[in-house]
Amino acid sequence: MVADRNFVILGHRAHTAPDWKLDDLCGGGGRLDVLMRCVTAAMWVSHGLRRDTDAWLLLSGPPAPPVAVHFCGASVRYLNPDERSTAALVRNGLVKLRNRASVEASPGVTLHRVGLEELLARLPPAVLLDETGDTTEFPAAPLTIVLGDDRDPTGEERAALASAPRVQLGDRSLLSSACITLAHHQMDSV
């Protein structure tokens, strides 16, 4: 089942093997700290989960990219709002994935060896979050919202998103997790 709201976060250096420590998400993990904050912003409200929302982390770092980590709001269990325990779910998934094409790491958390183009083909129509975007409005759900980690999308990623509207949340460059909170707020207010 496809969620009403899907967030795809492009993890440009995020490692695709469990060769990092939970104490070093920022360095050894390739800015996995940014991605974990995005999962919390996408999935959590105070004291509960958004069951209509999925988060997809697209890991593009070494040694075997790409890997997409899917958090399914409708079925996820054992997800907590802190970075470290979310990273532990991802780490366990990478341990289980090994040479497989996909694996369920824990209930509602699955890993798949798919890239951006294939992922976009499986999900509802996409918009790209971009501080130079040409609109401030989100289309109606179901939709897919794509954003960068601490770096903007590459030329190749932009090409895969060429037909997607570019939505801006003001002209200041914001943290990715803050963009997700603002996007939810805007869509919640309709």
Ligand X SMILES: C[S@@+](CC[C@H](N)C(=O)[O-])C[C@H]1O[C@@H](n2cnc3c(N)ncnc32)[C@H](O)[C@@H]1O
List interacting residues with ligand X (CB under 6 A): 129-131, 133, 147-148, 150-152, 168-170, 172-176, 179
Minimum distance between the CB of residue 56 and ligand X, rounded to whole angstroms? 14
- DSSP H/E element including 144: strand 143-148
Distance from C-alpha of 135 to C-alpha of 155, rounded to nearest angstrom: 21
Token duo for residue 20: 């990092």
Minimum distance between the CB of residue 16 and ligand X, rounded to whole angstroms? 20
Token duo for residue 31: 């800015």
Of 106 and 168, nearer to ligand X (C-beta) is 168
Map tokens 């499986």 to a residue. 122
Of 54 and 130, nearer to ligand X (C-beta) is 130
Minimum distance between the CB of residue 166 and ligand X, rounded to whole angstroms? 8
Minimum distance between the CB of residue 15 and ligand X, rounded to whole angstroms? 19
Of 64 and 175, nearer to ligand X (C-beta) is 175
Map tokens 């759900």 to a residue. 141
Map tokens 């079925």 to a residue. 75
Minimum distance between the CB of residue 117 and ligand X, rounded to whole angstroms? 18
Task: Compute the half-sphere exposure of residue 148: CA atoms within 13 Å on the CB side of its CA.
Answer: 17
Q: Which amino acid is at 41?
A: A
CA-based nearest residue to 55, from 133, 108, 14, 115: 108
Minimum distance between the CB of residue 48 and ligand X, rounded to whole angstroms? 25
Of 92 and 186, nearer to ligand X (C-beta) is 186
Are 36 and 87 spatial neighbours (Cβ–Cβ below 8 Å)?
Answer: yes
Of 11 and 148, nearer to ligand X (C-beta) is 148
Of 76 and 119, nearer to ligand X (C-beta) is 119
Are 148 and 167 spatial neighbours (Cβ–Cβ below 8 Å)?
Answer: no
Residue nearest to ligand X (CB): 148
